[in-house]
Structure 1
Amino acid sequence: MQVAKAVSWAFFGVRKKSDLEMDASSLTPAQVVIGGIIGAAVFVLALVLLVKFVT
């Protein structure tokens, strides 16, 4: 859950410095990369479904 929260705030581009430091100390780079890939895939899938729904 912490990885999903960190990745979603990173996509949005807003982050508190204290939260960033907490994530940097507790998350591994592999967790962040995998979370980012999954987050990007969900985002792209949502956009594709939205476009298909609208058209």
Structure 2
Amino acid sequence: MSGQQPRAGFIGTVKAVLWSFVGIRKRKDYHDDASSLDPKAVIVAGVLGGLIFVLTIVAVVNWVVS
């Protein structure tokens, strides 16, 4: 396994997913993420991030309307 980057941890995965939600990413960081992130962890973090985002929007709309 020489020459292989270590896998990113939970915080690194969440950070990469949050940056992808914003849409701002350097090419070097993208390539680093592509080689170090676990695809299953990225999917889980993306689904959870999207769910939290949607629930936050629903809560804000309910608060404003009431």
- Cα deviation 1:14-51 (Å, max 9, x = unaligned): 10111111111111110110010000000001001100
RCO comparison, higher one (Cα < 8 Å, 6+): 1
Query: 1: CA distance between counterparts of 2:51 and 2:40?
Result: 17
- Counting aligned pairs with the same residue, the percent is 44
Aligned residues: CA RMSD: 0.7
Specify which structure has the higher proportion of helix. Answer: 1
Runs of 4+ in 1 over 4 A off after TM superposition: none
- Flag structure 2 segments of 5+ consecutive residues without an equivalent: 1-10
The number of residue pairs the alignment matches comes to 55
1:11 aligns with 2:21: yes
TM-score (norm 1): 0.92
- Flag structure 1 segments of 5+ consecutive residues without an equivalent: none
Bigger-Rg structure (1/2) = 2
**Post-superposition shift, 1:3?**
1.0
TM-score (norm 2): 0.78
